[in-house]
Structure 1
Amino acid sequence: MNMSRKSVIAAAAGALALGLFAPAAAASASVPSIEGYSDVVADKAISTLTSERGLGETAAAELLQRQQQSVDTLDDVRSAIAGDLVGEHLDAKGNPVVTVATQAAADKAEAAGVTAELAERTTEQLDAARAELEALPAVPHTSLGLDPAENQLVLTIGEKAADSAAGKLTAAAAKLGDAVRVEHVAGGMQKSIYNGEAITGGGSRCSAGFNVNDGSQDYILDAGHCTAGVAEWNVGPSVDASFPGNDYGLIRNDTGSAPGAVTLWNGSTQAITSASDATVGQDICKSGSTTQLTCGTVEAVDVTVNYAEGAVDGLIQTSAAVDSGDSGGCLFSGSTGVGITSGMGGGSSYFQPVTEALSAYGMSLN
């Protein structure tokens, strides 16, 4: 989970294509170009920002470019303040911000061009609060994650959670004071799977994730709840699954087609040239076979989501729309692969970090 965001896992990443990809469509003359973004992804990301935040196209493009630069800056400064780093995020203008435990760390961060804030609560205090809550029996349709901007844990309770169990969680959170914020949301948390066509098997459907290889064989890095539930897909057999706990799995790709690009659902693709962890405040996009190309913002990282099937730790929480059948699809920021679609709930979507899955299997992106 603490891998460098600049770490280039391989030359490219992508979603499975069972045929040839068409050349990328020409950009609209009105869409500003963004380094690393294909025309279609730039168009979608910019339109999302203009509709959700009221930004003009040029301002939206500048924000996305600034976010990329800020993520690189955070990567450079992280090792210098590692022992004192409590949290990190991008502010509304796309600038990097860190929360640190000491003034010395704040001075180092500021010298590198990163806004630094002294933490009211240390990493150890937040970890202790998390441990207290996670020591209680897991409650389906709840999640627990870190809000680095507020230096708080966020306990999210879906309305489908059992009242008595949710009440015990809420009471435990109240004893931890301002270290934990409780939020109530509609519905519940569920993994995204089934309905329709994409990669199919056993009457189920998921979305193809990142094409990867071990040097001799191509595989698809997908959601673990997909590979755990289906032994044989139309593209090849499931060979491993880690779910719950994690949500990643591996499918042997026997199609002979394993391109290093994400499909954008209009005949064009987005090239991915690296893999990275997510940063809170970062704008991202997702490709999946149900909702296709959607964009949003990273809301939280290191989130534990309690699905009915069990808890999954270390997930990325975003505002990008997902639905059943999107599981396994790719989360990315421009040309950087970020995550694998896991689930949804309360108006948010959840993703398995791709860097963790690549490391677990010793795979490289195609």
Structure 2
Amino acid sequence: MKNPGQNPGMLYRMTQQFKEAQLLFAGIELDVFSYLQEEAEAGVVAAQTGYDARNLALFLNSLAAIDLLKKNGEYFQNTPVAEAFLNRNSSFYLGEYLVFWNEMTSLHRVAEQVRMGPDAGTQQHNQGGRVYNFRELARLSATEIYTGRVQSFLQAIRGVFLPDSALRLLDLGGGSGMMAIECAAYFPQASGVIFEHPLVADIPEQFVKERGLADRLAVWRGDFTTDDIGTGYDLIIASGVLDFASADLPGMAARIARALKPHGYLYLVSHQVSADFLTPKESIVNWLSSHLDGLNLLQSRQSIDAALAAAGLTKMSQQAQAGVISGLVGELYHFA
């Protein structure tokens, strides 16, 4: 048999990454990171949790091998990343979010979906709500958004608004509402609206009340693709929402433009999907299950650019979004 002239190492690395991800999710399920803020032996953690001491030691050793734990002799401790995001006692705990995101975008049914085709009802209505629990995503993303997305957003808008600006804002499909909340916190004269689906709206409503901003931020319920979203905004935040306007992307862009004041701004977060739908790979893979179910949730950056340009919106700046989700880009547009 001849040598194929190719190295199968890439395939092995993929299987290895899958196993390492399994270790991560097992660690989250077992909540071992919450016991390892300080150095501890496996036997001590076993006594606290009731887990099998021998197998726990082997498991912790594997977590150390993939750099989620540090090992010093027989003692284990969280690495800085694990301490910040996997210890349930951390204010930046993302364990629950990571589990939810993994399940939401799981490809465990991909072979079945390819064999059987999309669900007829989902395909007919292009309804992401049939597939995804956006309410739970909004709740859990309230922490994830602080790993870089909020910071990137504030950096962009500080360049066009003075701190004492009495700006009026709209967070369109705002999810947790944290973009609008942090905008209102930074600009004490700001006020506006968080617009969300009725099944999701109680989540931003709760966060607005907790932050004491109910007098400046209203939560409106509705479908932003069809319902009145208001007018007279200095700033509209559209984070991922144009992906849900596939039925009429130019129409949605025009609605956003009409809602802005002259010389207002749009802050857009998109996946920057290429026209051939090959990049960024994270977005292509993460939303594959929804597409196989018959949805059409991603728009190419060329389509989005064309729709916004036709609506009179001019791109001013572009910046990669820091944070958990790779491939997101924040863009600031000006409406003349």
TM-score, with structure 1 as normaliser: 0.23
Higher helix share: 2
Greater strand proportion: 1
TM-score (ref. length: structure 2):
0.24
Point out the structure with max Rg over C-alpha: 2
User: RCO (CA 8 Å, sep 6+): is it higher in 1 or 2?
Assistant: 1
